[in-house]
């Protein structure tokens, strides 16, 4: 009979996420994870299989939280206002120093996605989610007369996805707020 779990899974995932997000997958050692999560090796392997299993579980926790966050912002006010609120939340997080690590999905698109099919599937799903929800917001904005109806919503959704990914890269580079504000004005202008 298996012993009962002696740890809080969410706390372990949050601690592991912080390490993976800060250092990246390759630079994170088993010792880093054991220290951060306070798990024994046997508990880590018993609960998550291995470092990769713990990474995927932590990454999934991150992804779910970010999806909910995006939907929250896109639901604020009009469609255009929701898109702007979403990007302003990114700018605010950059200014507060909260995004020095960037977006984990964008980071993993570069670090692991090219050679890890499980991570690639997750990153691809995240990008599809972001693009589709931006496209839906654009279509709502077009129906409400606040976004130019001559534009293809899917094309604008893709543009906003690339804007988001670019913002995340600039966040990691600690880009100054005026440059981000200027970029946001250009992206919002493309909706006219």
99-141, pLDDT tens digit by residue? 677 889 999 999 999 999 999 999 999 999 999 999 999 999 9
Q: Report yes or no on whether pTM surpasses 0.85.
A: yes
Q: Is the pLDDT of residue 38 over 70?
A: yes
**Element (DSSP H or E) covering residue 84:** helix 79-95
Residues whose CB is less than 8 angstroms from the CB of residue 187 and which lie 6 or more positions away in sequence, other chains included? 87, 159, 160, 163
Residue 98: pLDDT band (50, 70, 90) is low
Domains parsed from the chain with CATH numbers: 59-189 (1.10.357.10)
Residue recorded with tokens 């120093």: 97
Torsion of CA 44, 46, 50, 52, to 10 degrees: -90
What percent of the chain has a predicted confidence (pLDDT) above 70?
Answer: 95
DSSP at 103: -
Distance of CA 144 to the CA centre of its chain: 28
23-37, pLDDT tens digit by residue? 999 999 999 999 999
What is the mean pLDDT of the segment spanning 135-158? 97
Cα gap 164→133, rounded to integer Å: 13
Average pLDDT of the residues of the chain: 92
């Amino acid at each position: 009979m298996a012993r009962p779990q002696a740890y809080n899974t969410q706390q372990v995932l949050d601690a592991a996420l912080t390490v993976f997000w800060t250092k990246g997958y390759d630079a994170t050692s088993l010792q880093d994870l054991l220290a951060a999560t306070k798990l024994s090796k046997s508990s880590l392997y018993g609960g998550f299989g291995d470092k990769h299993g713990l990474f995927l579980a932590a990454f999934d926790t991150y992804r779910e939280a970010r999806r909910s966050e995006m939907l929250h912002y896109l639901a604020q006010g009009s469609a255009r206002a929701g898109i702007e609120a979403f990007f302003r939340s990114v700018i605010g997080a950059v200014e507060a120093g909260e995004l020095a690590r960037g977006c984990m999905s964008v980071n993993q698109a570069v670090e692991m996605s090219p050679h890890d099919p499980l991570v690639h599937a997750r990153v691809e799903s995240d990008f599809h989610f972001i693009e589709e929800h931006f496209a839906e917001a654009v279509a709502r904005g077009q129906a409400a007369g606040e976004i130019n109806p001559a534009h293809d919503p899917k094309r604008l959704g893709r543009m906003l996805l690339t804007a988001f990914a670019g913002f995340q890269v600039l966040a990691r580079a600690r880009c100054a707020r005026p440059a981000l504000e200027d970029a946001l004005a250009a992206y919002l202008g493309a909706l006219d």
